Amino acid sequence: MILDGKTVSEKRLELLKEEIGESGLYPRLATVIVGNDPASQMYVRMKHRACERVGIGSIGIEIPSDTTTEKILESIAKLNRDTDINGILLQLPLPGQIDTDRVINAVKTEKDVDGFHPTNLGLLMSGKPLFSPCTPKGIMNLLADYRIPVAGARVVIAGRSIDVGRPMAALMTNADATITICHSRTRDLPAELRNADILISAVGKAHFITPEMVKPGAVVIDVGINQLNGKLVGDVDFDAVKEVASAITPVPGGVGPMTIATLMENTFFAATRMS
């Protein structure tokens, strides 16, 4: 079974559009992008397009790459104060000279629709999330839509970043799964991955996950976005692994659209809390 994130996300966006319409609110998202990395620019454009589609206003703050941490902090402070702005999305990564942690920590918790602020990550860890990071939350929503049971399942996650691996583990823990997090220092990664009922890969290496690493019948979630011979591919060798897995997300059209839909949902949630 192909887990069609594109279709599920469209369904969720339609539902959200109705909810926003009925709420009488006009949620607004501000995106902050530093520099002109083409991939980041493309992600931000996609987010603005999704906003337009569901009835969320959006503004884009563009800051040149030769900026300073202080200048970005000033922009964030302004957005924090602006009562017309409900959500702030800081497009990562930031240029090397910037203190990324300081900038993330400056985003007001109530507007932190990406869920990367330590307070939001802490709330998630404590089992009482306010805003959860969009990619792992989107994956939970995708699994729920396909009625794939998570409680009691053995979930193995490859990757321990704060945007995917770590919050994914927390969300899965909160949903009663049994979790293993793997990373670059994991001994015998294939053996760990073969234990998975649900295997989630967020490593960022094309065709990294091969059929030998997948238990027959496992659900495979591919978070990776990689370029291979001019084509967009995930971490999973899709054609080979789909023969072993019971369900698998494609790249593109799997996790990516779910991430954007979740950002829209988080922004509306922020607006309802502020109203």
Applying CB under 6 A, the residues found at the interface with ligand NAD are 135, 158-161, 163-165, 182-184, 186, 189, 202-204, 223-226, 255-256, 259
Nearest residue (CB) to ligand NAD, 110 versus 260: 260
- The answer to whether 91 is a known catalytic residue is yes
Nearest residue (CB) to ligand NAD, 110 versus 159: 159
- The answer to whether 227 is a known catalytic residue is no
72-to-50, 67, 92 alpha-carbon distances in Å: 25, 7, 13
Nearest residue (CB) to ligand NAD, 110 versus 214: 214
Tell me how far, at minimum, the Cβ of 44 lies from ligand NAD, in Å: 13
Residue with tokens 């709420």: 23
Residue with tokens 């800081």: 90
Tell me how far, at minimum, the Cβ of 275 lies from ligand NAD, in Å: 28
Q: Which of 91, 163, 235, 237 is catalytic?
A: 91
Residues 6+ apart with CB under 8 A from 239: none
CB 230 within 8 A of CB 175: no
Tell me how far, at minimum, the Cβ of 119 lies from ligand NAD, in Å: 20
CB 235 within 8 A of CB 208: yes
- The answer to whether 242 is a known catalytic residue is no
CB 78 within 8 A of CB 108: no
- Which three-class secondary structure state does DSSP give residue 176? coil
Q: Which of 112, 114, 197, 222 is catalytic?
A: 114
- Catalytically annotated residues: 47, 91, 114
